[in-house]
Amino acid sequence: MDNTRFFDQLQQGCQTLGVSVGEDVPAKLLRLMSELIKWNAKVNLTAITEPEEVLEKHFLDSLAVLPEVEGASSLLDLGAGAGFPGLPLKLARPAMAVTLVDAVGKKVGFLKAAIAVLGMKEARGLHARAEGQPESEGIPRAELLIARAFMDLPDWLNLAPAYVQPGGRVVAMLGKAQPDTELHARAGERGLRLVSARQYRLPFSRAERQVAVFSKV
């Protein structure tokens, strides 16, 4: 994938998803992809390595939830893996402080390297295992907590509230959509309230996605 095609596909994908990024973001995402592919040749970070798939299934899939994170001053990405959705969201909204947490040291090594290469301020990778005790784990609470395919939704909703600041929200990035009745029930069982649920498709593969937002009751 040459640079022109990357920029064109990114622009087209953002338009399809109804999101926008600054003029400097495409070049930074291209640099991030280069770092990801370089590291992945030595360290197994992600099974998605083809540039077209990285663009859609990592970058655009992350940027798709910009409407749900707009206005947040701090974001905590639990189970960040190779940095998705946290790194693209930080590039798109640089004023937002972002902490990316993963239990796998080699992935955190990549996160730290990517943050340094891209000159991200108020962003950090943290090697920790989230088990519901943020103080002892050294994981900071955030205004917005997010995860993509980290664990099944019921387990995520059990774990998540411990990491959210008062008045904050929990964002779950899901695959196939779940009915609102199911989301309401799952939330209510755990002292949470469903704020919103939105279905969409990725722009090129048309893969189904859903993003749900929860708050403490």
> Which domains does the chain show, CATH number per domain?
3-216 (3.40.50.150)
Strand-pair partners of 138: none
Mean pLDDT of the chain, nearest integer: 94
Give the 3-state secondary structure of residue 213. strand
How would residue 195 be classed by pLDDT, with cut points 50, 70 and 90? very high
How would residue 217 be classed by pLDDT, with cut points 50, 70 and 90? confident
Q: Which residue is it, tokens 């920029």?
A: 7
Find, among 107, 55, 53, the residue nearest to 78 by Cα: 107
pLDDT number for residue 149: 74
Does 131 show up as a binding residue in the annotation?
yes
What is the C-alpha separation between 151 and 158, in angstroms, rounded? 11
Does 122 show up as a binding residue in the annotation?
no
Does 214 show up as a binding residue in the annotation?
no
pLDDT number for residue 7: 95
* Eight-class DSSP state of 58: I
pTM of the full structure? 0.95
Q: Which residue is it, tokens 């095609």?
A: 5
| Model pLDDT for residues 33-73, shown as the tens digit of each residue | 999 999 998 888 888 888 999 999 999 999 999 999 999 99
Does 79 show up as a binding residue in the annotation?
yes
pLDDT number for residue 62: 97
pLDDT number for residue 102: 96
pLDDT number for residue 24: 95
Does 18 show up as a binding residue in the annotation?
no
Check pLDDT > 80 for residue 91: yes
pLDDT number for residue 215: 95
Strand-pair partners of 200: 209
CA 144 to each of CA 47, 69, 115: distance values in angstroms, whole numbers, following the listed order: 27, 7, 20
CB neighbourhood size of 146 (10 A) = 29
What is the C-alpha separation between 107 and 126, in angstroms, rounded? 10
pLDDT number for residue 176: 83
Q: For 201, phi and psi rounded to 5 degrees?
A: -125, 145
| Model pLDDT for residues 125-158, shown as the tens digit of each residue | 999 999 999 999 999 999 999 998 777 899 999 9
Give the 3-state secondary structure of residue 64. coil
